[in-house]
Amino acid sequence: MSEYVAPLKDVRFALQELAGLEQVATLPGCEEATPDLVDAILEEAGRFAGEVLSPLNRVGDTVGAKWRDKEVTTAPGFKEAYGQFVENGWNGLSCDPEFGGQGLPKLLSAAVSEMWKGANHAFSLCPMLTQGAIEALTLAGSDEQKAAYLPKLVSGEWTGTMNLTEPSAGSDLAAVRTRAEPVGDGTYRIFGQKIFITYGEHDMADNIVHLVLARTPNAPEGVKGISLFVVPKFLLQADGALGERNDAYCVSIEHKLGIHGSPTAVLAFGDNGGAIGTLVGEENRGLEYMFIMMNAARFNVGLEGLGDAERAYQRAVAYARERIQGTEAGVRGGPKVPILRHPDVRRMLMSMRAQVEAMRALAYVTAAALDNAHANPDEGERRKSQAFADLMIPVVKGWSTENAIQIASTGVQVHGGMGYIEETGAAQHLRDARITAIYEGTTAIQANDLIGRKIAREQGATIKAVIADMRAALAKLDGDLAAIGRRQRAAVDALEQAADWIVATYGKDIKAASAAAVPFLHLFGIVAGGWQMGRAAVIARQRVAGGDSDPFWPAKLNTARFYADHLLTQVPGLAETVIHGAVGALEMEDDSF
């Protein structure tokens, strides 16, 4: 079975040529991201992903995490790999140097994270949740909480979790019933149960820092009455050392379709007198703080989709090269050939490849915007970059994860019957990818956020600016790129038409707009990905014209052309669905279902 190989050439291209790493490296605090350092980090991350994490992917799937007597043991090799991960400093790559981080750009961290997710999705979830806890405490925690928890979380010696969902609440956080009773000195006793807690219990770190949503006694009903608390697995002594076990226990782990190496815990707080926790920030602002974690997690789940899709593509290509079956179309009496030579297999592989490259480009461009939103010295540029990132994060999350499911399914199809056999590994990618469109808010939640908070609320101002940038890029798609330009122009026109409809409709018929939300998200993702592929084609043409003989460039041109002909052509039809599809979705009587 083949192992993951980091796609370093395309990663570097997307980082440098599309996302603008050189500009990001000029931002205050990012100056250490020199070309030599970036190359060294990418090479070493690729090695760690391929040699350490990838071989454990199959072990995690077949053996999985095990629960016994409120404790969880991870799959063989996971604990040791996590020890190496921490020792090598990977957890603190983009974290604040004040707490032991390296302060490198989120753009570089995104590229490295893609490798972890591609090599071993289940393993990567642990540091991902820790990063979310770090962000929430950095922005909303007290000085005491930061000093107590951030150094260990940044190093990775301790891990973090996000505790939102309850058995009766699901995605409706207004229904959260976990309660927090004050006992004085800013301390609370937490009582309740949380479900679907990724790495809520495990054996890879000395302590687990749970961030928990709960209600104080006088909290108002609904989402306005939710507060956020730090509830560690082990309480801390005055000197910061680990103390007694807190009253927060794992009572079971879920039996899942995929990501078996990642324990998904049911946590019980307060069965023995109350779990001790401290309030983060102010009472009743917990949801606001949790969304700090959520936004970071949503972007990272988009990277999970990208990683799964890249891995499925790699496995499918490897199989298509070695599987000998049939003669080449149009060659009578010819020899048996690898299935890579069959036209439909090539179409499937090109579909996988083109979408992966578009997803990578859009994710990295969004990561660069996050860096600029945080550190650009120009206030106007910070606001513009934040607005762009806010608009794109639900697309990166929703579009990339839905693509990943389809790409992994296509990978199974490339394998034929062998794809349905677990030993080839193709099925695992499909099973693992399936959760990504549900994690941290389903695709519909992302789409409703996109059309409501990110488009309708501001009357489409940011998406109109993005469409203007897309139109400006069309001018360069001329000459031998004119066919790509035509497809992109028609797609941008359809996007603009659909976006205008969303703005006009949302306020007067929210049901119709909501029925169109997911098709609109898909439409926007395809066009935004095509925008980046068009930019890539222009650069590739320049390199070829300049005499660069690297086969990477004509391959990029071929991939961009495929994307235009096979994916951008879907956009006008999706626009029709957005504008006219509500009747068919909404008119059926409930009893007729």
Other CB atoms closer than 10 Å to residue 453's CB: what's the count?
Answer: 13
Q: What element of type H or E holds 197?
A: strand 187-198
Task: For residues 73 and 253, give the distance between their C-alpha atoms in angstroms, rounded to a whole number.
Answer: 11
Task: For residues 453 and 448, give the distance between their C-alpha atoms in angstroms, rounded to a whole number.
Answer: 8
Could you tell me if 77 and 119 are in contact, meaning their C-beta atoms sit under 8 angstroms apart?
no
Could you tell me if 405 and 386 are in contact, meaning their C-beta atoms sit under 8 angstroms apart?
no
Token pair 């972890």 is at which residue? 116
Verify whether residue 440 is a known catalytic residue. yes
Task: For residues 445 and 173, give the distance between their C-alpha atoms in angstroms, rounded to a whole number.
Answer: 13
Task: For residues 464 and 532, give the distance between their C-alpha atoms in angstroms, rounded to a whole number.
Answer: 17
Could you tell me if 204 and 82 are in contact, meaning their C-beta atoms sit under 8 angstroms apart?
yes
Task: For residues 505 and 582, give the distance between their C-alpha atoms in angstroms, rounded to a whole number.
Answer: 11
Burial class (CB in 10 A: 0-12, 13-18, 19+), 583: exposed
Could you tell me if 211 and 180 are in contact, meaning their C-beta atoms sit under 8 angstroms apart?
no
What is the residue-wise DSSP string for 216-236? Answer: -TTPPSSGGG-EEEEEESEEE
Other CB atoms closer than 10 Å to residue 517's CB: what's the count?
Answer: 25
Could you tell me if 57 and 76 are in contact, meaning their C-beta atoms sit under 8 angstroms apart?
no
Task: For residues 333 and 312, give the distance between their C-alpha atoms in angstroms, rounded to a whole number.
Answer: 33
Nearest to 472 by CA among 454, 492, 487, 458: 492
From the list 440, 458, 576, 587, the catalytic residue is 440
User: What backbone torsions phi and psi does residue 6 show, to the nearest 5 degrees?
Assistant: -60, 130
Task: For residues 109 and 249, give the distance between their C-alpha atoms in angstroms, rounded to a whole number.
Answer: 32
> Distance of alpha carbon 424 from its chain centroid, rounded?
25
Beta bridge partners of 265: 197, 253
Nearest to 450 by CA among 408, 495, 393: 393
Length of the chain: 593
Pairing of strands 158-163, 207-214: parallel
Task: For residues 588 and 592, give the distance between their C-alpha atoms in angstroms, rounded to a whole number.
Answer: 7
**Half-sphere exposure of residue 453, counting CA atoms within 13 Å on the CB side?**
14
Active site residues: 440
